Amino acid sequence: MIEEIIGIIIIIMALRVLLTKNRAERMLYINVIDFAVSALIALYVNSPFGLIIAATFFITSTIGSNAIAYTLNRLDNEIVLNE
């Protein structure tokens, strides 16, 4: 039952990614998808190695989302000269 709920959350977030125009909101929805996928990996692979895979995916998606947020923050502070 929990797998189906997580799957529905992933589908809803994927639709929101496609429909939103704001980059910051889009990144938030993609982060939710990443975290939900790591939860699905942990639930489906019932072994210690599955836990290692899920933890690795979770950590790397967190690092990636932090890098994206940092880059978006730097782009907001950038001065653009219109020619």
Q: Write out the E strands in 1-83.
A: none
Per-residue model confidence as pLDDT tens digits over 22-54: 877 888 888 888 888 888 888 888 888 888 888
> What is the reported pTM?
0.70
pLDDT of 14 reads 94
Selection from 17, 6, 23, 7 nearest residue 74 by Cα: 23
**Which single residue is written with the structure tokens 């994927």?**
14
9 contacts 32 by C-beta, under 8 angstroms: yes
Half-sphere exposure of 12 (CA within 13 A, CB side): 8
Hey, what are 42's tokens?
């942990």
pLDDT of 76 reads 64
Using 50, 70 and 90 to split pLDDT, how confident is the model at 83? Answer: low
Question: How far apart, in whole angstroms, are the C-alpha atoms of residue 37 and residue 54?
Answer: 8
Whole-number percent of the chain with pLDDT over 90:
18
Task: Provide mean pLDDT across the span 62-78.
Answer: 75
56 contacts 40 by C-beta, under 8 angstroms: no
Mean pLDDT of the chain: 83
